[in-house]
């Protein structure tokens, strides 16, 4: 019986060690005992991986480092083994030494990341001291895909260089190796071009005296930034040390509203109707017929090619509003002269011209999946399949190397549950769904897989700007643990089940993220109300807190709460640096839905009638023009409504776009006269009626944001 007990304990320890490394290694075995890195240990490295050794010093305080092939007992060795594939590594830990072999610099770096995960979590706070024990083991590992990426959008929400480097660090710990850097879009131009300094110096900011209009937030200030070429070179070098290639994106020919605001000469040759936008220019497409545009593109790519070492530059090609080309006499003349059949082939022409410029500077194009639909681009073009699995399959079928990143699996700007912030156009999903991605179940055959170059997650940052990016942890919360699940899908040849993955996450990786300072998302607490008592529970060992929203007081939750007002209690759980979303019982979310008639001084689209705003669902109303000062929206109830509060909002439900910016909310208690109840800002307003309400009215005090419409929502009544 004693021997059996010892065996079971040994197996349990083995199982725990197996769960340590994320993403899951290809093969790992653990023996008895451990190796201790002491103050006398020397870090010995091949000269070709010196930068890996220097990187290790950030985490492990070696007093001795040496470029040599001679290894003594107690040393840690980093060496290149050309018999291994480029990113393959072998980590061997015995009682005498630690040896990390890699097929190249990249493989050695990957082995170092695994070693760090075998050490106590405190190494990630960069303040650890020796001695540090490492379990004896042998790990042979290599990635499933050579491209394991993350796309970061810094155009819509500005992210300074030091924060970009932080996310490069976090990527590297997960063996992700490609940063797709989305540098330009409708909302900003973030890359310094010395031959055209106005692009960044003006286009890097919006609002205030900038010609680039504010959008999604920060409506009342000049806000933004850009990267100098020196900063970008530093980012590229910082990433390269961490085995990450930076792939820049300049989004063309669409998504160029910011550029058009600075350089109106890039736009098509016609006068647009601005009556719906209060006189604002909202066109965002390069004219395909202007030779001066290709000269500008040449200047941009020439300078980018000296900054970025990647073979690829991403040139966009998505969501082009081709109606602008249809209205342009020059583009229509080009279509005839070149024998183009439609506007889609105008885009093919534009991208082909841009591709030729890339080739001139030794670069290859990457495009979004729309960019190859004309079939004219060379098969060296890399395709990023974002719209759907169907689009990914189409690209691989045509022979294009394709990055698999469909929005409903890998867009980490999507909501993680229905009541959390984020987009919802593709799906609502958490890390469990990310981990469930299965090529076979999604229809990929062996032939398709030959052209799958890799997997990428993305974060488009429209919503981030509304979450105080300078101080909030919103981006961390949206990425983790989804990015960890993504790394397992991209790296592991045989990934864990969700249960195994979640156990490893809770058992080891939460503590690592605590040391890294990552505000990761915890699972949502379960809250129930029955028999006058509200109860909350968690299953991840986190600590629960609750806030009485009537008083604003927050307390630690220790036992069920007796209350007749369950709607007033909001719960959150915390563990280390992780936190859950704020949640409550079904009474907390409950809304009144009285019969209401909605009218407005602004006409609505026939596709989204005003009755949508009377449904108390996610149905919205789109108007046919922007709002002006004096415009109004009125909600008139069939019967007087008794309630605690009414929230009035405009704009998309999940996004600050198509909003009234300034105004007031008025309330009528008699159905005839209205009295001011609250000032209305872009975030809306909440009123607390003093009597039964007959009608609510929102009155604009200024023009709405830089769109050709506003969005009208249902009221939220409690």
- Per-residue pLDDT averaged across 71-94, rounded? 97
Residue 341 has pLDDT above 80, yes or no: yes
Closest CA to 248 of 300, 308, 196: 308
Residue 15 has pLDDT above 80, yes or no: no
In our burial notation (b when 16+ CB lie closer than 10 A, e otherwise), range 416-445 reads: beeebbbbeebebbbbebbbebebeeeebe
Are 179 and 152 spatial neighbours (Cβ–Cβ below 8 Å)?
A: yes
* Neighbour count for residue 209 (Cβ, 10 Å): 7
Are 632 and 663 spatial neighbours (Cβ–Cβ below 8 Å)?
A: no
Q: Taking the mean position of all CA atoms in its chain, how far away is CA 128? A: 31
Q: What does the longest C-alpha to C-alpha distance in the chain come to?
A: 92
* Fold assignment, 526-589: Immunoglobulin-like (2.60.40)
What is the reported pLDDT for 209?
Answer: 95
Residue 1 has pLDDT above 50, yes or no: no
Are 154 and 164 spatial neighbours (Cβ–Cβ below 8 Å)?
A: yes
Are 11 and 32 spatial neighbours (Cβ–Cβ below 8 Å)?
A: no
What is the reported pLDDT for 18?
Answer: 65
Nearest 5°: CA angle at 159, between 153 and 162? 125
First to last CA, the chain: 63
Question: Across 625-680, where does the E strand assignment appear?
Answer: 632-641, 646-648, 663-668, 675-680
- Per-residue pLDDT averaged across 420-438, rounded? 96
Query: What average pLDDT is seen over the chain?
Result: 95
Cα radius of gyration (the chain): 28
What is the reported pLDDT for 69?
Answer: 84
Domain definitions of the chain by residue range: 21-141, 147-508, 526-589, 596-717
Closest CA to 650 of 610, 609, 680: 680
What is the reported pLDDT for 19?
Answer: 62
596-717 homologous superfamily: Galactose-binding domain-like (2.60.120.260)
Task: Spell out the residues 6+ positions from residue 350 whose beta carbon is closer than 8 angstroms to its own.
Answer: 252, 253, 286, 288
- Per-residue pLDDT averaged across 361-377, rounded? 93
From CA 357, how far away is CA 266, in angstroms rounded? 17
Task: Spell out the residues 6+ positions from residue 279 whose beta carbon is closer than 8 angstroms to its own.
Answer: none
What is the reported pLDDT for 14?
Answer: 45
What is the reported pLDDT for 376?
Answer: 83
Same fold, 147-508 and 596-717: no
CA distances from 650 to 55, 627, 716 (A): 49, 11, 12
Are 101 and 48 spatial neighbours (Cβ–Cβ below 8 Å)?
A: no
DSSP 24: P
Task: Assign domain 147-508 to a CATH class.
Answer: alpha beta
CA distances from 26 to 10, 241, 259, 668 (A): 22, 24, 47, 68
The confidence band for 8, taking pLDDT boundaries of 50, 70 and 90, is: very low
Are 639 and 594 spatial neighbours (Cβ–Cβ below 8 Å)?
A: yes
Residue 714 has pLDDT above 60, yes or no: yes
Out of 8-12, 56-60, 315-319, 441-445, which region has the weakest mean confidence (pLDDT)? 8-12
What would the pLDDT profile of 599-656 be if each residue is shown by its tens digit?
A: 999 999 999 999 999 999 999 999 999 999 999 999 999 999 999 999 999 999 999 9
- Per-residue pLDDT averaged across 482-495, rounded? 97
Are 434 and 446 spatial neighbours (Cβ–Cβ below 8 Å)?
A: no
The confidence band for 190, taking pLDDT boundaries of 50, 70 and 90, is: very high
The DSSP element (H or E) to which 302 belongs, if any, is helix 291-307
Pseudo-torsion of CA 47, 48, 49, 53, nearest 10°?
30
pTM for the full model? 0.95
CA dihedral sign of residues 655, 219, 163, 583: negative
What is the reported pLDDT for 10?
Answer: 42
Domain 21-141 has CATH 3.10.620.30: no
Closest CA to 369 of 331, 404, 409: 404
From CA 314, how far away is CA 381, in angstroms rounded? 10
Residues pairing with 45 in the sheet: 67, 78
Sheet with 553-556, edge to edge strand ranges: 553-556, 543-548, 569-575, 578-579
Percent composition of the chain: helix, strand, coil (DSSP 3-state, to 5)? 30, 25, 45
Percent of the chain with pLDDT over 90: 95
What is the reported pLDDT for 374?
Answer: 82
- Per-residue pLDDT averaged across 219-234, rounded? 97
């Amino acid at each position: 019986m004693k021997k059996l007990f010892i065996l079971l304990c040994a197996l349990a320890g083995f199982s725990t060690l197996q769960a340590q490394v994320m993403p899951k290694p290809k093969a790992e075995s653990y023996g008895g005992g451990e190796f201790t890195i002491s103050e006398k240990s020397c870090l010995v490295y091949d000269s070709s991986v010196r930068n890996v050794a220097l990187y290790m010093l950030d985490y492990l305080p070696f007093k001795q480092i040496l470029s040599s092939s001679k290894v003594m007992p107690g040393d840690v060795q980093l060496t290149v083994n050309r018999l291994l594939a480029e990113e393959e590594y072998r980590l061997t830990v015995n009682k005498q030494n630690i040896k990390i072999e890699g097929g190249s610099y990249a493989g050695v770096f990957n082995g170092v990341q695994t070693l760090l995960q075998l050490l106590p979590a405190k190494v990630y706070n960069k303040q650890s001291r020796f001695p540090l024990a490492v379990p004896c083991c042998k790990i042979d590992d290599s990635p499933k895909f050579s491209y394991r990426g993350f796309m970061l959008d810094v155009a819509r929400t500005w992210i300074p260089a030091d924060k970009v480097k932080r996310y490069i660090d976090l990527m590297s710990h997960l063996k992700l190796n490609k940063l797709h850097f989305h540098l330009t879009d409708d909302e900003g131009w973030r890359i310094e071009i010395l031959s055209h300094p106005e692009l960044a110096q003006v286009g890097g900011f919006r609002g205030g005296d900038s010609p680039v209009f504010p959008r999604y937030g920060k409506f009342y200030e000049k806000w933004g930034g850009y990267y100098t070429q020196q900063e970008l070179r530093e980012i590229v070098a910082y990433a390269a040390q961490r085995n990450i290639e930076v792939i820049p994106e300049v989004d063309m020919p669409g998504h160029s509203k910011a550029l058009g605001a600075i350089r109106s000469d890039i736009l098509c040759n016609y006068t647009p109707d601005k009556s719906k936008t209060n006189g604002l220019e909202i066109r965002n497409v390069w004219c395909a017929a202007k030779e001066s545009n290709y000269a500008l593109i040449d200047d941009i790519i020439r300078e980018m090619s000296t900054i970025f070492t990647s073979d690829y530059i991403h040139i966009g090609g998505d969501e082009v509003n081709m109606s602008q080309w249809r209205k342009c006499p020059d583009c229509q003349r080009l279509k005839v002269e070149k024998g183009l059949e439609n506007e889609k082939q105008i885009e093919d022409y534009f991208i082909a011209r841009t591709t030729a410029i890339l080739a001139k500077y030794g670069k290859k194009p990457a495009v979004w999946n729309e960019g190859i639909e004309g079939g004219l681009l060379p098969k060296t073009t890399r395709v990023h399949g974002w719209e759907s699995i169907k689009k990914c399959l189409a690209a691989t079928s045509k022979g294009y190397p394709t990055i698999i990143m469909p929005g409903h699996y890998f867009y980490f700007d999507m909501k993680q549950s229905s009541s959390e912030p984020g987009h919802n156009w593709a799906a609502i999903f958490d890390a469990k769904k990310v981990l469930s991605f299965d090529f076979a179940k999604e229809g990929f055959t062996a032939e398709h897989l030959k052209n799958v170059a890799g997997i990428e997650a993305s974060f488009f940052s429209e919503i981030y700007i509304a979450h105080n990016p300078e101080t909030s942890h919103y981006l961390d919360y949206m990425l983790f643990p989804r990015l960890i699940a993504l790394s397992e899908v991209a790296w592991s040849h045989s990934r864990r089940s969700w249960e195994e993955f979640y156990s490893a996450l809770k058992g080891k990786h939460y503590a690592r993220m605590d040391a890294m300072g990552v505000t990761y998302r915890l699972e949502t607490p379960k809250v129930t109300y029955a028999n006058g008592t509200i109860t909350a529970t968690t299953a991840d060992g986190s600590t629960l807190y609750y806030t009485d929203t009537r008083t604003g007081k927050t307390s630690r939750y220790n036992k069920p709460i007796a209350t007749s007002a369950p709607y007033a209690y909001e719960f959150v759980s915390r563990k280390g640096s992780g936190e859950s979303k704020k949640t409550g019982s079904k009474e907390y979310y409950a809304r009144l839905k009285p019969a209401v008639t909605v009218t407005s001084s602004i006409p609505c689209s026939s596709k989204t009638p005003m009755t949508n705003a009377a449904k108390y669902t996610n149905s919205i109303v789109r108007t046919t023009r922007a709002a002006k000062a004096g415009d109004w929206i009125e909600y008139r109830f069939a019967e007087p409504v008794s309630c605690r509060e009414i929230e009035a909002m405009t704009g998309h439900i999940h996004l600050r776009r198509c909003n009234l910016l300034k105004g007031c909310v008025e309330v009528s208690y008699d159905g005839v006269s209205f009295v001011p109840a609250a000032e209305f800002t872009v975030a809306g307003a909440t009123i607390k009626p003093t009597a039964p309400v007959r009608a609510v009215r929102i009155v604009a005090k200024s023009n709405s944001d830089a769109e050709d419409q506003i969005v009208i929502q249902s009221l939220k009544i409690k």
